[in-house]
Amino acid sequence: MSVYNRNYDFTAGTTIVADQVDAELNSIQSILNGNIDATNLAAESVTSASLATAVNPETRDYEMHTEFVASGLTIPTSADLTSSCAAGVAYIRGIRVNKSSGTNHTYTASKDTYVDLDKNGNFTYSGVANGAGAPAVATNSIRIAKVVSDGTKVASVTDMRMLSPVTVNPHKARAYRTSSNQIISDAVATKVQLNGESYDTNSNFDTTTDYRYTAPITGYYQVSALAKIYSSSGALGNAYIQIRKSGSEVAIAQMSASPNSQASLSISDIIYLTAGEYLELWAFGDVTSGTVSIDSNGNSTYLAVHLLSV
């Protein structure tokens, strides 16, 4: 029994003796020294902010399971500029965020709008020019979607939700060059158009337009690339392949002038990406004559990306 009940009810004019004061203090001491339980605490009176990091359940959940959407929170296209994010549940910074009803938003025309949800259940809408790079994810938030609008409507929506804890790791993809060899300009670095997929478990690799992998969440990614470059007639001079992160080189493999007409170059690296950043494979070849080509074979020209950890 840890509920404190007064032993005496003192009123104005009552004579108080030491034994009565001692009895009250002893009752309080007994409860404070090891007998406090749930009956002494108001609901939600102990918050995560008041707990040390080592025992904070929100911190532990975030560090062990990262962040993901458990249900809902989808955004559809629309015939006008207004669309509603569906109700749903997400785990953000270790907190269970329950959006019990849909949230309407009117998007700015002719923008790419990145939608983030924070640990307090608030949405952030970050608009950039169509085709521009993704902005940083809002503080204490996860990225839900990329909403593309034209002048009058929500034209397309890219789902960027992570749908399970990272221990399951739904984020892995491998794209390759297929159908035909890619002819590139002599001595000009060119993006490799990876237009086929071996797998893409979360639909993060664009193999039709931009030929890039876009990171759905922030973390460390294992990246492997291979490209076979060859000359149609003359010897292949200098050649290299690059992995570019959001337009900037982060890894390169190269060779000097060679009497051979072809070369296979590979890269393996671990690259840190924030949500919305992307990876592309670029190639360069300098030939003495003829044209430069990238081989169209899933075994010789590809880019593979796997999330390792957050």
Average pLDDT of the chain to the nearest whole number: 88
| Alpha carbons 23 and 61: distance in angstroms, whole number | 45
Structure confidence at residue 239 (pLDDT): 92
Q: Which of 174, 9, 166, 148 is nearest to 83 (CA)?
A: 148
* Per-position b or e across 173-210, b if 16+ CB within 10 A of its CB: bbbbbbeebbebebeeeebbbbbebeebebebbbbeee
Q: Half-sphere exposure (CA, 13 Å, Cβ side) for 46?
A: 10
CA 294 to chain centre: 31
| Alpha carbons 250 and 34: distance in angstroms, whole number | 57
Average pLDDT for residues 129-146, to the nearest whole number?
92
Q: Above 70 in pLDDT, residue 38?
A: no
Q: Above 70 in pLDDT, residue 2?
A: no
| Alpha carbons 217 and 198: distance in angstroms, whole number | 21
| Alpha carbons 53 and 56: distance in angstroms, whole number | 5
Q: Which residues contact 286 (CB under 8 A, 6 or more apart)?
A: 186, 187, 236, 237, 238, 239, 292
Q: Above 90 in pLDDT, residue 259?
A: no
Render pLDDT for 152-195 as a digit per residue (tens, 0 to 9).
Answer: 999 999 999 988 776 656 789 999 999 999 999 999 999 999 99
Bridge partner list, 68: 91
Top mean pLDDT of 42-46, 60-64, 256-260, 270-274 is at: 270-274
Q: Which tokens in the block code for residue 206? A: 């664009």
Confidence of residue 11 (pLDDT cuts 50, 70, 90): confident
Q: Above 80 in pLDDT, residue 258?
A: no
Q: Which residues contact 237 (CB under 8 A, 6 or more apart)?
A: 257, 258, 285, 286, 287, 288
Q: Above 80 in pLDDT, residue 286?
A: yes
Question: What is the architecture of the domain spanning 172-309?
Answer: Sandwich (2.60)
What residue ranges do the domains of the chain occupy?
64-159, 172-309
CB 137 within 8 A of CB 119: no
Structure confidence at residue 193 (pLDDT): 98
